[in-house]
């Protein structure tokens, strides 16, 4: 763990008798409260009791409040947990990449020159290829197509003759069924370069992000394996164009979502794949967010002990990511943009103060309450004071089992609270609202909210029995609005006259509630009313204050203050 100075004890607030439990309801925002709001529609007596009876407010969880370039950008679980754990706002991947492109730093750095050097000049072979791979999306959550345009411009300026683009469909961070439009944009861009000089540039492979390449937390290596076969080996169903591939795959599967389109390759007149990766090529993964980029990076950079799947062959290439996806593991070794340096997280301070922490979630969000909470660092920060537990996620579509592992997560919290090393601070993430919300299935998402509401009831009981504190909040919106809407907020209707499902995050604020089961302790603080623009970064100082510590000066302000009763008592 990085060296961190001890905090000062709070001048007036003392620690609670029991533990402080932070429950993060992933993807549960404060929505429009209509027929498209799964949170509103769900039967949720426990959440309703908290929101109506105990100190509650909303927090900003998108845009500049979490380090995104503008307030038009949705938040996501990664930047949300960064802000929750760091106590302040850091410029995040999208903004950092945009800055690096605008300033020219991205293409003046050593890594870009290292990538293109063997592909240009008199020593370059006719087959030397620059491969560009990633999520082709305007969502600005994992990647942005504008960044791809910048890479293509720079490759053209550098004189790269042969480029292959391996393009993944979104359908989660943007409206679904928009991949054809995105492909048209990309093909138009490539046509412009092909018309110049002797450029051999084209799309080579692709697929939907949830079944090809972009697995995370090693939940399902077969997803990455499909990508490896399509992008690297050129071994996937072949089509004469990406447009033909998508049209045929949709027809075969009854109109599959963009995110679940199968893997495909583009083939030439002989039926051979146009873009397998060969020795001597360069390969750039243009995603800037780390969680769904790490495993493909490992497949390229790991040695003979790689166990994710059978790679068959590993071409010797110059590989780089848009950013470094894991600093502790140095993945990848080369990258185009420096990631934010996040230190002095709340977890470091709690460990230095000798407080015990327990963090738990299932696989889909385990990295969020550990890696992202800890400032993009892997592993346990302080083994003497921290315990983490990962529960395996189901490997089926999340709307088929919307309760996911919520009960098991609460079970793990209960075991920890009853164990010999009882934690002072517990953080947990229920993924249901986000993961089921991404399917666009409104009925299943309502069931997901009802499942976590039952677990919130259990947490209330556990905290009450120990005279502790329960804080319930979220990292961003999703389940709060399951309909695509027009500029007036009205649902966009599909051909059947029904609201078009929304599968992406929302711009909604998120609820924040404090339930203090120790009446004496609860009388010492109150929720502040003078921070109308507070966001997720204000939570860390709030945790410290309720635990009896003063936050470091760099942190955003706490959401609580000493109550009038406590002020009079200590005057």
Q: Please write the tens of the pLDDT for every residue from 437-465.
A: 999 999 999 999 999 999 999 999 999 99
List, in sequence order, every residue forming a beta bridge with 168; answer none if it has no partner: 135, 207
Cβ-proximal residues to 341 (8 Å cutoff; 6+ apart), any chain: none
Average pLDDT value over all residues in the chain? 94
Question: Rg for the chain (alpha carbons), in Å?
Answer: 24
Active-site hit among 70, 77, 137, 222: 77
Q: Indicate where the chain has its CATH 3.40.1450.10 domain(s).
A: 94-337
Selection from 324, 387, 323, 319 nearest residue 350 by Cα: 387
CA distance 337 to 111: 9
User: What's residue 1's pLDDT?
Assistant: 43
Distance from chain centroid for Cα 246:
26
**What pLDDT does 104 receive?**
96
Chain position carrying tokens 């609820």: 511
Task: List 39's β-bridge partners, or say none.
Answer: none
Name residues of the chain where pLDDT drops below 70. Answer: 1-5, 327-328, 564-571
Give the per-residue pLDDT at 3: 44
CATH topology of domain 94-337: 3.40.1450
Determine the Cα–Cα distance for residues 210 and 550; give it in Å rounded to an integer. 43
The residue whose two tokens read 């909470």 is: 373
How confident is the model at residue 568, as a pLDDT?
41
Q: Which long-range contacts (CB under 8 A, 24 or more apart) does 188-195 make?
A: 189/149, 189/152, 190/152, 190/165, 193/152, 193/156, 193/163
Question: Which strands make up the sheet holding 425-430, listed edge to edge?
Answer: 56-59, 510-516, 469-473, 20-25, 425-430, 357-362, 386-391
Helix (H, G, I), strand (E, B) or coil at 58: strand
Task: Give CATH 3.40.720.10 domain extents, the chain.
Answer: 20-90+341-485+496-570
pLDDT the model gives residue 252 = 84
| Residue 188: other Cβ atoms inside 10 A | 9
Q: Tokens in use for 257? A: 């979502």
- pLDDT for the residue 365: 95
Q: What is the pLDDT of residue 4?
A: 54
pLDDT at res. 571: 36
Preceding omega of 332 cis (within 30 degrees of 0): yes
222 is a catalytic site residue: no
- CATH code matching the domain that covers 20-90+341-485+496-570, chosen among 3.40.50.9100, 3.40.720.10, 3.20.20.80, 3.30.230.10: 3.40.720.10
Distance CA 25, CA 537 (A): 16
The predicted-structure confidence for 85-121, as pLDDT tens digits, reads as follows 999 999 888 899 999 999 999 999 999 999 999 999 8
Q: Which of 358, 372, 447 is nearest to 410 (CA)?
A: 358
């Amino acid at each position: 763990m990085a060296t961190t100075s001890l905090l000062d004890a709070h001048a007036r607030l003392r620690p609670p008798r029991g533990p402080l439990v932070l429950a993060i309801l992933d993807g549960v925002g404060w929505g429009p409260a209509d027929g498209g709001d799964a949170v509103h529609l769900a039967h949720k007596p426990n959440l309703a009791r908290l929101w109506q009876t105990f100190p509650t407010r909303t927090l900003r969880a998108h845009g500049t409040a979490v380090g995104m370039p503008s307030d038009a950008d949705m938040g996501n679980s990664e930047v949300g947990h960064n802000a929750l754990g760091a106590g302040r706002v850091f410029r995040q991947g999208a903004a950092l990449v945009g800055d690096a492109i605008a300033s020219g730093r991205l293409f003046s750095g050593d890594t870009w020159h290292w990538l293109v050097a063997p592909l240009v000049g008199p020593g370059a072979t006719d087959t030397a290829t620059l491969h560009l791979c990633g999520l082709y999306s305007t969502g600005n959550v994992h990647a942005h197509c504008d960044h791809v345009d910048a890479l293509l411009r720079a490759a053209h300026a550098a004189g790269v003759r042969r480029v292959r683009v391996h393009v993944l469909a979104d359908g989660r961070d943007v409206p679904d069924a928009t991949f054809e439009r995105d492909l048209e944009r990309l093909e138009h861009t490539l046509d412009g370069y092909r018309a110049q000089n002797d450029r051999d540039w084209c799309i080579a492979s692709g697929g939907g992000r949830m079944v090809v390449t972009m697995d995370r937390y090693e939940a399902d290596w077969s997803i990455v394996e499909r990508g490896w076969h399509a992008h690297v080996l050129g071994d996937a169903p072949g089509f004469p164009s990406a447009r033909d591939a998508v049209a045929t795959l949709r027809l075969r599967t009854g109109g599959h979502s963009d995110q679940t389109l199968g893997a495909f390759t583009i083939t030439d007149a002989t039926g051979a794949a146009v873009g397998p990766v060969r020795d001597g090529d360069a390969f750039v993964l243009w995603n800037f967010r780390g969680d769904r980029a790490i495993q493909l990076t490992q497949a390229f950079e790991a040695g003979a002990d790689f166990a994710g799947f059978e790679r068959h062959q590993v071409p010797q290439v110059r590989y780089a990511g848009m950013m470094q996806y894991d600093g502790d593991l140095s993945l990848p070794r080369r990258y185009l943009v420096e990631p934010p340096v996040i230190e002095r997280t709340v977890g470091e301070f709690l460990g230095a103060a000798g407080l015990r922490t327990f963090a738990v979630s299932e696989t889909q969000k385990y990295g969020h309450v550990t890696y992202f909470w800890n400032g993009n660092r892997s592993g346990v920060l302080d083994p003497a004071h921290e315990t983490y537990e990962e529960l395996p996620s189901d490997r089926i579509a999340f709307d088929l089992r919307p309760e996911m592992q919520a009960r098991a997560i609460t079970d793990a919290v209960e075991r920890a609270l009853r164990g010999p090393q009882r934690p002072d601070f517990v953080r947990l993430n229920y993924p249901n609202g986000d993961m089921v919300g991404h399917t666009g299935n409104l009925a299943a998402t309502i069931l997901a909210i009802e499942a976590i509401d039952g677990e919130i009831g259990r947490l209330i009981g556990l905290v009450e029995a120990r005279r502790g504190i329960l804080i319930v909040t979220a990292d961003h919106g999703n389940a709060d609005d399951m309909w695509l809407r027009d500029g007036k907020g009205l649902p966009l209707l599909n051909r059947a006259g029904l609201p078009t499902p929304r599968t992406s995050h929302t711009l909604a604020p998120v609820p924040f509630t404090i339930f203090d089961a120790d009446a004496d302790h609860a009388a010492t603080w109150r929720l502040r009313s003078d921070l109308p623009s507070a966001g997720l970064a204000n939570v860390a100082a709030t945790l410290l204050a309720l635990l009896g510590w003063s936050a470091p000066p760099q942190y955003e302000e706490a959401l609580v203050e000493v109550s009038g009763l406590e002020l009079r008592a200590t005057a």
